[in-house]
């Protein structure tokens, strides 16, 4: 296979602390990376780089792992501009707005949904995101949920069944009947296309008992659990996620001390989604509290048409540093290695021998510029699976 060396990197974030005792990011100065096929095969000082077939001069730029966006909702149609405008004018956010997107998504064709997913994946890729998780949840019928996941699986390997986003409008008077559908015929139709099962465990969506039934049914079908937990208020979501060994509890905005302790003692990653708080003017998650307790934290966009319509991980990094108590190093780690942990992946989120060759060159000498220069398009080049794609 052809080998390529990217040399003259001012600062290389490897996320391999064994490479640099002074930095949990495994930071290497004046560095180089060698790619063979779709893998990283060497990292180190630029002057020591081995001979390769091709060479790319990074020009003194920083290099970071590709962002791992471990929570998004890209299978949708329609627009919720009016809802956002009203919310910015004083109306509170609730789970009910999802129904607007459900109606538009059901009416869309397969081609329209697929084009929409491709559009937002490309948008994220231009901003350095090389791995996207995405969910169903805007169909809420057996046919619409299954087609959403079938389409998603054509675009990404990280696909989540979220039939339990809200109770379908068709079952407004029979939520128990909808849970039976989600754990029965809908799950049977959707499981072949998904890796994960998720539930919105929240007032206005599904309570703890319903969420447990949905997640355990998914586990029995071979899907791995993750949970929308504790976004709008205190609730059972985080505790349930830890109890069931979920890969991730997502949002984690309203936590008790017991919730934090459970996350610290378990294997569940706390995925924080500051785009949602930005777009709903809600209280920020306390990342500092989680990190100080020893919780593994991921940072993701929650890209969706209602409460966080952004595909920009750099934007979320800037929010996390400015408003959630994270350092620039912690925010970058959480948006790369943290996202990989939330997907239980070891081949992404780092730049080290054996890892998938997903990396980003920044038009800056340091990764700190992601928070230092918010809103500035700093991505100079992107490699995904060893191929330069931007």
Amino acid 21: pLDDT: 66
Mean pLDDT, all residues of the chain: 96
CB 164, CB 182: distance < 8 Å? yes
> Tell me: the pLDDT tens digits for 200-233?
999 989 999 999 999 999 999 999 999 999 999 9
pLDDT in tens, 36-56: 999 999 999 999 999 999 999
Q: What is the pLDDT of residue 314?
A: 98
Q: What percent of the chain has pLDDT over 70?
A: 98
Q: Are 60 and 364 in contact (CB under 8 A)?
A: no
Question: pLDDT tens digits, residue range 295-316?
Answer: 999 999 999 999 999 999 999 9
Distance CA 238, CA 240 (A): 5
Least confident span in 84-93, 147-156, 344-353: 84-93
pLDDT for the residue numbered 93? 64
Q: What's residue 64's pLDDT?
A: 98
pLDDT over threshold 90, residue 114: yes
More confident residue, 378 or 94: 378
Confidence band of 98 (pLDDT split at 50, 70, 90): confident
Whole-number pLDDT of residue 77: 96
Parallel, antiparallel or unpaired: strands 28-36 and 3-12: antiparallel
- Residue 121's SS3 state is helix
Residue among 205, 251, 209 at smallest CA distance from 226: 251
Q: Is the pLDDT of residue 95 over 60?
A: no
Mean pLDDT confidence for 87-109: 83
| pLDDT above 60 for 373 | yes
- Is residue 279's pLDDT more than 70? yes
Using 50, 70 and 90 to split pLDDT, how confident is the model at 94?
low
The helix-helix angle for 110-126 and 142-153 (nearest 10°) equals: 40
| For residues 148-167, average pLDDT | 97
């Amino acid at each position: 296979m052809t080998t390529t060396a990217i040399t003259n990197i001012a600062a290389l974030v490897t996320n391999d602390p064994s490479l640099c005792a002074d930095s949990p990011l495994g930071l290497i100065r004046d560095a180089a990376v060698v790619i063979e096929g779709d893998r990283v095969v060497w990292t180190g000082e630029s002057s020591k780089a081995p001979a390769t077939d091709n060479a790319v001069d990074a020009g003194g730029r920083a290099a970071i792992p590709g962002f791992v966006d471990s929570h998004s909702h890209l299978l949708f149609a329609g627009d919720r501009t009016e809802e956002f405008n009203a919310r910015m004018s004083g109306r509170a956010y609730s789970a009910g707005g999802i129904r607007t997107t459900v109606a538009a998504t059901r009416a869309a064709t397969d081609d329209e949904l697929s084009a929409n997913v491709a559009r937002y994946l490309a948008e994220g890729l231009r901003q350095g995101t090389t791995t996207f998780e995405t969910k169903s949840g805007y169909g809420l019928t057996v046919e619409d949920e299954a087609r959403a996941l079938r389409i998603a699986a054509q675009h990404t390997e990280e696909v989540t069944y979220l039939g339990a986003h809200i109770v379908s409008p068709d079952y407004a008077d029979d939520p128990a009947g909808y849970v039976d559908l989600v754990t029965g015929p809908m799950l049977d139709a959707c499981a072949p296309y998904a890796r994960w099962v998720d539930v919105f465990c929240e007032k206005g969506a599904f309570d703890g008992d319903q969420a447990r039934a949905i997640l355990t049914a998914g586990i029995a079908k071979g899907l791995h659990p993750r949970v929308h937990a504790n976004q709008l208020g205190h609730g059972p979501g985080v505790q349930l996620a830890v109890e069931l060994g979920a890969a991730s509890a997502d949002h984690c905005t309203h936590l008790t001390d017991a919730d934090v302790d459970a996350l610290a003692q378990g294997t569940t990653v706390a995925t924080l989604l500051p785009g949602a708080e930005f777009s709903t003017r809600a209280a920020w998650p306390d990342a500092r509290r989680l990190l100080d307790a020893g919780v593994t934290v991921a940072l993701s966009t929650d890209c969706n048409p209602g409460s966080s319509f952004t595909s920009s991980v750099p934007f979320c990094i800037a929010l996390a540093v400015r408003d959630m108590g994270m350092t620039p190093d912690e925010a970058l780690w959480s948006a790369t290695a943290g996202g990989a942990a939330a997907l239980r992946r070891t081949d992404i989120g780092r730049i080290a021998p054996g890892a998938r060759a997903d990396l980003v060159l920044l038009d800056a000498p340091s990764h700190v510029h992601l928070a230092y220069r918010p809103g500035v398009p700093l991505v100079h080049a992107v490699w995904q699976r060893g191929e330069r794609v931007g």
